[in-house]
Chain A
Amino acid sequence: MQSESNSYKFPAIHDFPPLYTRQPTESTWQNQVKEWERIILAYYRSQRLYRLNLVEATVPGASPLFDNTKIKRRLSLETLEEIVNEMVRKGLAEWVTDSNTGSKSAARTQALIYWRKPEEWSSLLWNWINEQGFNNSIMTVYEIANGEAAEGTDFYEMDTTVLIKALEVLSANGNAQIFTGTGDVDSIGVKFFGT
């Protein structure tokens, strides 16, 4: 996909002004959440985005996704947090754990947006490994997402955290083994097994 953010066409409901006000009626709110889920997932998929920093994204002018200059409406941080909470509950997103403390209760400032869930990424990866004949070879996380072989695939330049989550699924299924390096995450190695 080649689309740029300025040429991206949001669905018509993105211009519906009340979409930016948290609806007081519960059933309407539930529907509002669903609309936002669809809008966020479609946008993230088209722009190949993986992470959502809630504070940064809701700053005026930061993102055409949440700041609609055409109708002068902007989603508030509080409402976005509620929406992402719902997405996490439905498995469409995951709060990023603070890597320093490892605590889940850390401030909910960043989330991974799953326009593909880690399970879906893992089967995509596994098919690719088998197609390319990478079975029984060891690759680094960096190689998988940025190597020549990955060019043109859906996971080219994908977020490392999401990639590792997908690899963990493969590992849990007995299709891969992860070797945690001593350095940064990019140097984590993976051995893929045969079919």
Chain B
Amino acid sequence: MRRRAVGIANAENRKALDRKFQEIGDNIAAREIQQLHDQLDTFKTNLQEFARKYRKDIRRDPTFRMHFQQMCTKIGVDPLASNKGFWADLLGFGDFYFELSVQITEICIATRPQNGGLIEMGELKRRIKVKRGDRKSSQPEISEDDIVRSIKTLKPLSSGFEILTIGNRKMVRSVPKELDTDQSSLLLLAQATGYMTKGMIETEFKWHEGRILQALDNLLQDGLAWLDLSPGEEDKYWIPSFYDFGDNENTV
């Protein structure tokens, strides 16, 4: 290894050299930042052009819309952020999600007496479709992603709407009351059959009877479960949110 140079002259030299390096470095950084800015601008312009060009597809095709949304989110642009923003104006998105969130709210409230404020995603989607069905066929199709986004736009209103995952089902909870862990466990248990019995709960969780009764009573109280007594059968507790009511319109 070469011995390091010593002495005052050398030190001065090194300082000057450091300064030069610093200057060059600053230059490069500034250029890079400028370049990045330019690139971002170009990208933004392209994105806008893209959005303008495919406006129709974005509005019509739910898969396309989802991909576009994901792309925007990745680069920190949120087309939903404001109803008045550039993106909303360009795409008419604000109105789209606003309208959808109103429909979601209406359905959740209308079905609350029946399901206790817990609705399955598929059922919600089906009801939205029915609600929008009487309009022209030019209406955009609604995807699960759209529903999730719409519910997120409701958040600032402290609506208490949230999306729960129970087993392999997505559920929309429209009552601000949280499910306790026992309730959640029971919902998960009832998912497959649509109902549960004390025996099923005992076998699955090994809870003592008091706990089982309390948890079931909570579900009944919250309107999340309906009691089914039939002579010769074990009492069943049905979860209407899991029951397929078909095309039957129960909305009051």
Q: Which residues on A are within 8 Å of B, measured CB to CB? A: 11-13, 16-21, 23-25, 27-28, 30-32, 34-35, 38, 72-73
**A13 and B245 contact, CB distance less than 8 A:** yes
A residues near B13, Cβ cutoff 8 Å: none
Output the least CB separation between B46 and chain A (Å). Answer: 50
Q: Which residues of A contact B248 (CB under 8 A)?
A: 11-13
Q: CA of A126 to CA of B243 in the docked complex: distance in angstroms? A: 45
A17 contact from B114, B236, B245, Cβ within 8 A: B236
Q: Is the interface of A mostly helix, strand, loop or mixed?
A: helix
Contact across chains for B238 and A17 when beta carbons are under 8 A apart: yes
Q: How many B residues touch the partner, as a band?
A: 20 to 34
| Pairwise interchain contact A31-B114, C-beta atoms closer than 8 A | yes
The reply to whether B221 and A35 form a contact with Cβ atoms under 8 Å apart is no
Task: Write out the residue numbers on chain A whose beta carbons fall within 8 Å of the beta carbon of B244.
Answer: 12
CB distance from B209 to the nearest CB of A (A): 18
* Contact present for A35 and B250 (CB under 8 Å): yes
B113 interfacial by beta-carbon distance below 8 Å? yes
Interface string of B172-210 (1 = CB under 8 A from A): 000000000000000000000001000000000000000
Q: Which of B86-94, B99-107, B132-140, B227-235 contacts A (4 or more CB under 8 A)?
A: B227-235
Question: Is there an interface contact between A73 and B220, defined as CB atoms closer than 8 Å?
Answer: no
**Chain B positions within 8 Å of A31 at CB level:** 113-114
Give the contacts of B156-186 with A (CB-CB under 8 A): none
Residue numbers in A under 8 Å from B116 (CB-CB): 28
In the complex, the answer to whether A18 meets B250 with C-beta atoms within 8 Å is no
List of B residues within 8 angstroms of A23 by Cβ: 220, 226-227
Q: Which of A12, A24, A30, A72 is the one whose CB lies under 8 Å from B227? A: A24
Q: A21-B228, A28-B113, A35-B114 are in contact. List 12 more A-B contacts (CB 8 A).
A: A11-B245, A12-B248, A16-B226, A17-B195, A18-B227, A21-B229, A23-B227, A27-B113, A32-B226, A34-B252, A38-B250, A73-B228
Give the total number of A-B pairs whose CB atoms are below 8 A apart. 62
Cβ 8 A contact of A16, one of B223, B229, B240: B240
Complex CA–CA separation, A95 to B26 (angstroms): 93
Contacts of B227 in A (CB 8 A): 18, 21, 23-24
Query: What residues of B have a CB within 8 angstroms of the CB of A72 in the complex?
Result: 230
Q: Is B7 an interface residue (CB 8 A)?
A: no
**Alpha-carbon gap, A34 to B113, bound state (A):** 10
A20 to B247, CA, bound (A): 21
Instruction: Give, as a whole number of angstroms, the nearest-CB distance from B178 to chain A.
Output: 19
Residues of B in contact with A (beta carbons under 8 Å apart): 113-114, 116, 195, 220-221, 223, 226-230, 236, 238, 240, 243-248, 250, 252
User: Closest residue to A76 on the B side, CB-wise?
Assistant: B229
Chain A minimum-CB-distance residue to B219: A25
Q: Output the least CB separation between A73 and chain B (Å).
A: 6
* A24 in contact with B220 given A12-B246, A16-B238 (CB within 8 Å): yes
Tell me the complex Cα distance, A94–B47, Å. 67
**A27 B223 Cβ-Cβ under 8 A:** yes
Closest to B220 in A: A25
Distance, CA A12 to CA B114, complexed state (A): 13
B232 (CB) vs chain A CBs: closest residue: A72
Asked if residues B230 and A28 are in contact (CB atoms below 8 Å), the reply is no
CB neighbours (8 Å) of B247 from chain A are: 12
Q: Please tell me if the beta carbons of B226 and A28 are within 8 angstroms of each other in the complex.
A: yes
Q: Given the complex, which residues of A lie within 8 Å of B236, measured CB to CB?
A: 17-18
Q: How far is the CA of A34 from the CA of B249 in the complex (A)?
A: 13
A18 near B228 (CB under 8 angstroms)? yes
Nearest neighbor of A25 in chain B, beta-carbon distance: B220
B221 lies within 8 A of A25 (CB): yes
In Å, the complex CA distance between A40 and B111 comes to 20
A sample of 14 cross-chain residue pairs with beta-carbon separation below 8 angstroms, ordered by A number, consists of A11-B245, A11-B250, A13-B245, A13-B250, A18-B228, A18-B238, A23-B226, A25-B223, A27-B223, A28-B223, A34-B252, A35-B250, A72-B230, A73-B230
- Cα-based distance from A69 to B227 in the complex (angstroms): 19
Closest beta carbon of chain B to A27's beta carbon, Å: 6
Known contacts A25-B223, A28-B223; decide if A17 and B230 are in contact (CB<8 Å): yes
Query: Closest 6 A-B residue pairs measured CB to CB?
Result: A18-B226, A31-B113, A12-B246, A18-B228, A11-B248, A12-B248
